[in-house]
């Protein structure tokens, strides 16, 4: 009886290992906060020159954002908090002024 149990247990363990490896292999490789900003691709409507000129720093922009640039900044800085990232804050204010975002008045720092 025990001679038949060992191959069954061994086969189940091997099948489980194959499934675990397959799941880990197919899952996208990400850091703790999502994909790196350097790996983000610009959305449609952005040519390579404007995407390259668009700064991915956290500094406040030199000129006011357009609505499209504000959307891109919000996506690029999605792991940042608007009250600590001047670039995301400027993008958020642009989207609020354009009526694209309605801030939650209960959220501290967003409605200012």
Residue 91 lies in a domain: yes
The answer to whether residue 105 sits within a structural domain is no
Q: Each residue of 51-96: pLDDT tens digit?
A: 444 556 888 888 889 999 999 888 888 888 888 889 989 999 999 9
Residue 92 resides in a domain: yes
Q: What's the DSSP call for residue 37?
A: G
Q: Count of domains in the chain?
A: 1
72 within domain boundaries: yes
Rounded distance between C-alpha atoms, residue 26 and residue 40, angstroms:
20
Domain containing 28 equals 2-97
Percent of the chain having pLDDT more than 90?
19
User: What per-residue confidence (pLDDT) applies to 52?
Assistant: 44
By C-alpha distance, which of 44, 49, 48 is closest to 72? 44
Return d(Cα 108, Cα 110) in angstroms, integer.
6
**CA 106, CA 88: separation in Å to the nearest integer?**
19
Would you say the pTM of this structure is higher than 0.95?
Answer: no
Question: Do the domain assignments include residue 102?
Answer: no
Residue 59, in any domain of the structure: yes
C-alpha 105/C-alpha 80 separation (Å) is: 19
* Residue 108 located in a structural domain: no
- 65 is a domain residue: yes
């Amino acid at each position: 009886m025990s001679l038949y149990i060992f191959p069954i247990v061994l086969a189940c363990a091997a099948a489980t290992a194959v499934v675990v490896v397959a799941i880990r292999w197919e899952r996208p490789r990400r850091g703790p906060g999502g994909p790196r900003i350097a790996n983000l691709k610009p959305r449609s409507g952005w040519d390579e020159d404007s995407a390259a000129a668009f700064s991915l720093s956290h500094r406040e922009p030199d000129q006011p954002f357009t609505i499209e640039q504000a959307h891109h900044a919000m996506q690029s800085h999605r792991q940042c908090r608007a009250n600590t990232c001047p670039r995301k804050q400027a993008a958020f204010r642009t989207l609020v002024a354009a009526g694209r975002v309605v801030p939650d008045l209960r959220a501290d720092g967003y409605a200012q």
